[in-house]
């Protein structure tokens, strides 16, 4: 942890180190494009690797006949992964600089691990896609960009790696960068930051590279430290799913209730009118409470408890929203799905749908199409979705849910399907607007 | 607010990392409390579980916790940690259940490991699983963090255990967004880790920010220690110096509070929270690497113990 640089300001109690923002980013890539080397480099050069980990790494690398240190072994944490030399799951890694705390969701890049990439991207503020400068855009590069676009990761970085192997050639970099940007543009991704790097030599990872004077932008780490973290949340539409009811004895004969949950959209303030869903009963926010006392406003991702002016009967699975701004009640879902389970999604199969704090029974109606995430072609004849497939599906629900399009709100627009028989987390669901087409 | 530019409005609504981590932890506590019938919170008196208790207060106060506190007492605890445990639980006014490894030994459920000053680290898994069955717990909150160890780095926040309490790392449920799948069959359990995404430094920063009390052994103090397996172990009831071992008196502190028989002290001058934070921020050795003999056995020591039902 590179927090050892002391702050100029006088330390306040308990805040010797400045409070910093947190950035979650995901990486996708396979053995060949140097993803593990890049992460190893970020951790190593920002001093996020500890000496005993380094010693263990050297020992393990020697045992596997690798000359020097195989930084991939740092992220492959499970016995099976080390034995097979592959990453099979999402690994979370942590490092911090004086400016930010970082959480890396490190995911494997092969097609059969699409579900892991989707998992990693689901909570990411930023995605790093690795491109081998010698190869340019490959099928898997496109796949990684498609996943970042599907999951609406707010920022995308294309790290054009192995620049040392193309003579640090600006023209090679420019050509790949424009190809990446053009493809991302087609998917509706606004900005893509392209950075020429050599992970193995540390060029433009933490330190700027003297080999690429033509590159005027920041090294990767500096970009990660400075990329604008405007709230990734929807601050316009109030969404407060009730998670838990806190009942405290107010007097001998009655208890006082507050409704606990995490703000998933909008800004709540005392005095604001709200409507409870699904009942539609209108009331007013009397106070927003926390353990540390009442607060003047609550916004995502804060966990708070709301006290209401009227005695309305609310419970888990219900939602407070602003009047005239309720999400549509949906009993039938038209949505994008990424399938996670070995048992395919097929018409007639039954699931639990978990959406915010609301869990309802669901039955699969149809697969509208399966999406080839390499070519973006739609196959309307697929009929079912197997593991790692992405497609458009329709589901019928036993009770309505109150969801927004995923495009608007990543929390109220997402759901998971749980297999009724096995309890497996079987599918990721992204809600669409009426008539919305993606991509 | 109407006068503010859109950029100013959004900047104001980005929270710092401790607030984000705290809010995530509260959310996880409330989710688990809502979906499980009978959870319990594992408390050891160590810094991670001290943070858990504060998060539980933030999640459920002014009401009481909707679960008891469970301590697996190995009989090798630091007396300072036990005293702190009792004081803290009394202060909270919550129910404490103690599951004792010594009782498991006395009842013949486990056998003390052979050798000089045996560790009870492995034995406590049996005591824990027996307590789960006896009390019918279906979920246990634990203070595990993903930065601690590479098998933990892959573990879910809601981590499924089969009817034998075993973890199957290759067959974990995908965890997307913050939608946690808490569905289990009878006899199965879930381990829930609300501070999965915290680092050692985050924990100390939070303890300082919240002005939380921690056992005194986390701060530098003079102690008789003996060097064993490359670590300074506290001489006492559970660590008896062998003839070839030299007892030294050093100024040390603990980075982690485990069993006296396998938790090493580190040389330290840090006597205040800010000094501890400065030391942790500058540390070049991981918490477990510096202080835990139990993880030094093999590359997969933690993974193997977790498969058996260890925390």
The distance of A134 to chain B (nearest Cα, Å) reads: 32
A154-175 residue pLDDT tens = 999 999 999 999 999 999 999 9
pLDDT for the residue numbered A213: 96
Q: Is the pLDDT of residue B4 over 50?
A: no
Please report the ipTM that was assigned to this predicted complex. Answer: 0.91
Mean pLDDT for A307-319 is 94
- Residue scoring higher pLDDT (A18 or A155): A155
For testing the chain B interface, which of A83, A150, A251, A416 should be mutated: the one with the most B CBs within 10 Å? A416
Cα-Cα-Cα-Cα dihedral sign, residues B100, B104, B110, B113: positive
Cβ distance A82 to B208 less than 8 Å, yes or no, reads no
Among B196, B281, B289, beta carbon nearest to A4 = B281
Q: Which positions in chain B touch A244 (Cβ < 8 Å)?
A: 30, 33-34, 59-60
Cβ distance A88 to B174 less than 8 Å, yes or no, reads no
Those residues with Cβ within 8 angstroms of residue A45's Cβ, 6 or more apart along the chain or in another chain: A202, A205, A206, A207, A221
Tokens standing for residue B303: 């993974």
Considering only alpha carbons, which residue of chain B is nearest residue A317? B34
Tokens standing for residue B153: 């780095």
Cβ distance A248 to B62 less than 8 Å, yes or no, reads yes
Q: Worst-scoring range by mean pLDDT, A90-94, A330-334, A390-394?
A: A90-94
Cβ distance B14 to A101 less than 8 Å, yes or no, reads no
- What's the DSSP call for residue A356? T
Considering only alpha carbons, which residue of chain B is nearest residue A81? B170
Cβ distance A230 to B209 less than 8 Å, yes or no, reads no
Tokens standing for residue B21: 């981590």
Q: Is the pLDDT of residue B64 over 90?
A: yes
Cβ distance B59 to A60 less than 8 Å, yes or no, reads no
Q: Which residues pair with A336 in a beta bridge?
A: A392, A430
What chain A holds in terms of domains, given with CATH numbers, is: 21-226 (3.40.50.300), 239-321 (2.40.30.10), 329-431 (2.40.30.10)
Mean pLDDT for A60-66 is 67
Calpha distance A351→A395 (Å, rounded):
10
Tokens standing for residue B165: 């309490």
- What's the DSSP call for residue A241? E
Among residues A78, A138, A89, A79, the alpha carbon closest in space to that of A115 is found at A89
B213-247 residue pLDDT tens = 999 999 999 999 998 888 888 888 888 888 888 89
Q: Is the pLDDT of residue A396 over 80?
A: yes
pLDDT for the residue numbered A35: 84
Work out the pLDDT band at B186, boundaries 50, 70, 90. Answer: very high
Cβ distance A316 to B34 less than 8 Å, yes or no, reads yes
Q: Which residues pair with A259 in a beta bridge?
A: A245, A306
Considering only alpha carbons, which residue of chain B is nearest residue A415? B179
The distance of A385 to chain B (nearest Cα, Å) reads: 17
Tokens standing for residue B288: 């477990």
Cβ distance B179 to A3 less than 8 Å, yes or no, reads no
Q: Is the pLDDT of residue B33 over 50?
A: yes
Cβ distance B197 to A94 less than 8 Å, yes or no, reads yes
C-alpha count within 13 angstroms, C-beta hemisphere, residue B1: 10
Mean pLDDT for A329-351 is 96
Cβ distance B62 to A246 less than 8 Å, yes or no, reads yes
Among residues B179, B161, B258, the alpha carbon closest in space to that of B218 is found at B258
Mean pLDDT for A246-275 is 90
Residue pair A115/A424 in contact (Cβ under 8 Å)? The answer is no
B274-284 residue pLDDT tens = 899 888 877 76
Tokens standing for residue B38: 């009978």
Cβ distance A230 to B14 less than 8 Å, yes or no, reads yes
Residue pair A281/B51 in contact (Cβ under 8 Å)? The answer is no
Cβ distance A94 to B147 less than 8 Å, yes or no, reads yes
Among residues A282, A221, A263, A427, the alpha carbon closest in space to that of A344 is found at A427
Residue A362, judged by CB atoms within 10 A of its CB (0-12, 13-18, 19+), counts as buried
For testing the chain B interface, which of A150, A224, A243, A341 should be mutated: the one with the most B CBs within 10 Å? A243
Work out the pLDDT band at A84, boundaries 50, 70, 90. Answer: low
Mean pLDDT for A322-346 is 95
Q: Which positions in chain B touch A303 (Cβ < 8 Å)?
A: 22-23, 26-27, 30, 58-59
By three-state DSSP, how is residue A119 classified? helix
B247-264 residue pLDDT tens = 999 999 998 888 888 888
pLDDT for the residue numbered B125: 87
Q: Is the pLDDT of residue B204 over 60?
A: yes
Cβ distance A425 to B178 less than 8 Å, yes or no, reads no
The distance of B80 to chain A (nearest Cα, Å) reads: 23
- What's the DSSP call for residue A343? S
Alpha helices in A64-169 (DSSP H): 72-75, 79-84, 114-122, 139-150
Tokens standing for residue B248: 């030294």
Among A20, A290, A410, beta carbon nearest to B17 = A20
Q: E-strand spans in A291-357?
A: 293-294, 303-308, 319-321, 329-339, 350-355
Among B274, B277, B285, beta carbon nearest to A50 = B285
Among A15, A22, A303, beta carbon nearest to B27 = A303
Residue pair A155/A126 in contact (Cβ under 8 Å)? The answer is yes
A101-153 residue pLDDT tens = 999 998 887 888 888 899 999 999 999 999 999 999 998 899 899 999 999 99
Work out the pLDDT band at A337, boundaries 50, 70, 90. Answer: very high
Calpha distance A219→A225 (Å, rounded):
10
Among residues A202, A111, A230, the alpha carbon closest in space to that of B6 is found at A230
For testing the chain B interface, which of A18, A76, A101 should be mutated: the one with the most B CBs within 10 Å? A101
Calpha distance A399→A351 (Å, rounded):
13
Residue pair A389/B154 in contact (Cβ under 8 Å)? The answer is no
The distance of A374 to chain B (nearest Cα, Å) reads: 22
Neighbours of A75 (CB within 10 A): 24
Calpha distance A230→A327 (Å, rounded):
24
Among A77, A246, A414, beta carbon nearest to B63 = A246
The distance of B124 to chain A (nearest Cα, Å) reads: 23
What are phi and psi for residue B106, nearest 5 degrees?
A: -60, -35
Work out the pLDDT band at A75, boundaries 50, 70, 90. Answer: low
Q: Which residues of A397-423 are buried (b: 16+ CB within 10 A; e: fewer)?
A: beeebbbbbbbbbbbbbbbbbbbbeeb
Average pLDDT for chain B:
87
Query: At what angle are helices B200-209 and B17-35 packed, to 10 degrees?
Result: 90
Instruction: Give one word for B108, left, alpha or beta, with left for phi > 0 and alpha for psi -120 to 50.
Output: left
Cβ distance A425 to B175 less than 8 Å, yes or no, reads yes
Among A16, A415, A423, beta carbon nearest to B183 = A423
Mean pLDDT for B133-139 is 95
**Measured between alpha carbons, how far is residue A438 from residues A67, A149, A334, B61, B271 in Å?**
46, 10, 12, 44, 58
By three-state DSSP, how is residue A91 classified? strand
Q: What is the dihedral of CA B156, B161, B166, B172, to 10 degrees?
A: -40
Among B30, B57, B196, beta carbon nearest to A260 = B30
Omega before B104 cis (within 30°)?
no
Cβ distance A243 to B282 less than 8 Å, yes or no, reads no
Length of chain B equals 311
Work out the pLDDT band at A371, boundaries 50, 70, 90. Answer: very high
Average pLDDT for chain A:
88
Cβ distance A52 to B290 less than 8 Å, yes or no, reads yes
Among residues A327, A317, A301, A322, the alpha carbon closest in space to that of A259 is found at A317
pLDDT for the residue numbered A7: 36
By three-state DSSP, how is residue A87 classified? coil
Neighbours of A227 (CB within 10 A): 19
Q: Is the pLDDT of residue B8 over 80?
A: no
Among A4, A78, A425, beta carbon nearest to B174 = A425
pLDDT for the residue numbered B1: 31
Q: Which positions in chain B touch A14 (Cβ < 8 Å)?
A: 205, 208-211, 273-274
Among residues B196, B200, B215, the alpha carbon closest in space to that of B29 is found at B196
What chain B holds in terms of domains, given with CATH numbers, is: 6-202+301-307 (3.40.50.620), 216-295 (no CATH)
Calpha distance A285→A25 (Å, rounded):
35
Among B20, B62, B154, beta carbon nearest to A77 = B154
Q: How big is the A-B interface in CB pairs under 8 Å?
A: 214
The distance of A432 to chain B (nearest Cα, Å) reads: 17
Q: Global pTM? A: 0.91
Give a three-class secondary structure readout of chain B.
Answer: CCCCCHHHHHHHCCCCHHHHHHHHHHHHHHHHHHHCCCEEEECCCCHHHHHHHHHHHHHHCCCCCCCCEEEEECCCCCHHHHHHHHHHHHHHCCCEEEEEHHHHHHCCCCCCCCCCCCCCCCHHHHHHHHHHHHHCCCEEECCCCCCCCCCHHHCCCEEEECCCCCCCHHHCCCCECCECCCCCCCCCEEEECCCCCCCHHHHHHHHHHCCCCCCHHHCCEEEEEEEECCEEEECECCECCCCCCCEEEEEEECCCCCCCCCECEEECCCCCHHHHHHHHHHCCCCHHHHHEHHHCCCCCHHHHHHHCCCC
Cα-Cα-Cα-Cα dihedral sign, residues B270, B275, B277, B280: negative
Q: Which positions in chain B touch A51 (Cβ < 8 Å)?
A: 284-285
Mean pLDDT for A84-88 is 59
Calpha distance A66→A288 (Å, rounded):
57
Calpha distance A358→A5 (Å, rounded):
45
Tokens standing for residue A70: 């195989």
By three-state DSSP, how is residue A200 classified? coil
Considering only alpha carbons, which residue of chain B is nearest residue A91? B154
């Amino acid at each position: 942890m590179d927090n050892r640089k002391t702050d100029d300001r006088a330390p306040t109690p308990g805040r010797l180190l400045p409070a910093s923002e947190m950035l979650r980013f995901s990486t996708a890539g396979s053995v060949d494009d140097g993803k593990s080397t890049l992460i190893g480099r970020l951790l190593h050069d920002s001093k996020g690797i500890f000496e005993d980990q380094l010693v263990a790494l050297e020992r393990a690398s020697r045992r596997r006949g690798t000359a020097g240190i195989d930084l991939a072994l740092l992220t492959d944490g499970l016995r099976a992964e080390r034995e097979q030399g592959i990453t099979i799951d999402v690994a979370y890694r942590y490092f911090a600089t004086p400016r930010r705390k970082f959480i890396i969701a490190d995911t494997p890049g092969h097609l059969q691990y699409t579900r892991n990439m989707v998992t990693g991207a689901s909570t990411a503020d930023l995605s790093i896609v690795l491109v081998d400068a010698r190869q340019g855009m490959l099928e898997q590069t496109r796949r990684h960009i498609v996943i970042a676009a599907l999951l609406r990761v707010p920022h995308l970085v294309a790290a054009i790696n192995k620049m040392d192997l193309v003579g640090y050639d600006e023209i090679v970099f420019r050509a790949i960068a424009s190809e990446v940007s053009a493809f991302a543009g087609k998917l509706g991704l606004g900005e893509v930051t392209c950075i020429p790097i050599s992970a193995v030599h540390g060029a433009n990872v933490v330190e700027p590279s003297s080999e690429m004077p033509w590159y005027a932008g920041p090294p990767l780490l500096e970009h990660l430290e400075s990329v604008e973290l405007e709230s990734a949340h929807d601050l316009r539409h109030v969404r407060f799913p009730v998670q838990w009811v806190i009942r405290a004895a107010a007097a001998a004969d009655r208890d006082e209730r507050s409704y606990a949950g995490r703000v998933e959209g909008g800004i709540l303030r005392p005095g604001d009118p709200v409507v409870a869903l699904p009942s539609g009963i209108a009331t007013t926010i009397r106070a927003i409470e926390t353990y540390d006392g009442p607060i003047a406003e609550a916004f995502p991702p804060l966990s708070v408890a709301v006290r209401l002016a009227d005695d309305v009967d609310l419970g888990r699975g219900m939602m407070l929203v602003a009047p005239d701004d309720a999400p549509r009640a949906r009993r039938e879902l038209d949505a994008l799905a990424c399938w996670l389970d070995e048992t395919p999604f097929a018409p007639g199969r039954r699931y639990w749908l978990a959406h915010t704090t609301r869990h309802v029974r669901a039955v699969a109606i149809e697969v509208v199409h399966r999406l080839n995430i390499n070519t973006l072609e739609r196959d309307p004849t697929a009929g079912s979705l197997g593991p790692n497939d992405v497609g458009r599906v329709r589901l019928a629900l036993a009770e309505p849910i109150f969801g927004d399009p995923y495009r608007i709100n990543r929390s109220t627009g997402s759901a998971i399907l749980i297999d009724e028989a096995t309890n497996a987390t079987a599918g990721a669901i992204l809600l669409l607007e009426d008539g919305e087409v993606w991509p | 607010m109407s006068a503010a530019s859109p950029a100013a409005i959004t900047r104001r609504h980005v929270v710092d990392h401790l607030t984000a981590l705290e809010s995530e932890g509260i959310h996880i506590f409330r989710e688990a409390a809502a979906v499980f019938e009978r959870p319990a919170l594992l408390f050891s008196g160590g810094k991670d579980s001290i943070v858990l208790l504060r998060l539980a207060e933030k999640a459920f106060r002014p009401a009481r916790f909707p679960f008891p506190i469970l301590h697996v007492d190995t009989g090798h605890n630091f007396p300072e940690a036990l005293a702190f445990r009792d004081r803290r639980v009394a202060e909270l006014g919550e129910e404490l259940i103690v599951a004792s490894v010594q009782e498991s030994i006395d009842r013949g459920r486990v056998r003390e490991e052979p050798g000089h000053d045996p560790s009870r680290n492995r034995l406590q898994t049996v005591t824990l699983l027996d307590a789960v069955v006896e009390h019918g717990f279906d979920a246990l909150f634990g203070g595990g963090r993903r930065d601690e160890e590479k098998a933990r780095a892959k573990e879910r926040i809601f981590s499924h255990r089969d009817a034998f309490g075993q973890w199957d790392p290759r067959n974990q449920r995908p965890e997307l967004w913050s939608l946690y799948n808490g569905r289990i069959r009878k006899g199965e359990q879930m381990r829930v880790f609300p501070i999965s995404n915290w680092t050692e430094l985050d924990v100390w920063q939070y303890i300082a920010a919240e002005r939380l009390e921690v056992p005194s052994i986390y701060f530098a103090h003079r102690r008789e220690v003996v060097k064993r397996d490359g670590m300074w172990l506290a001489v006492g009831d559970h660590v008896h110096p062998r003839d070839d071992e030299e007892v030294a008196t050093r100024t040390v502190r603990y980075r982690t509070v485990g069993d006296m028989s396998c938790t090493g002290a580190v040389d330290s001058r840090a006597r205040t929270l800010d000094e501890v934070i400065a030391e942790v921020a500058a540390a070049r050795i991981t918490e477990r690497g510096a202080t835990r003999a139990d993880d030094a056995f093999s590359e997969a020591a933690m993974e193997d113990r977790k498969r058996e039902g260890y925390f």
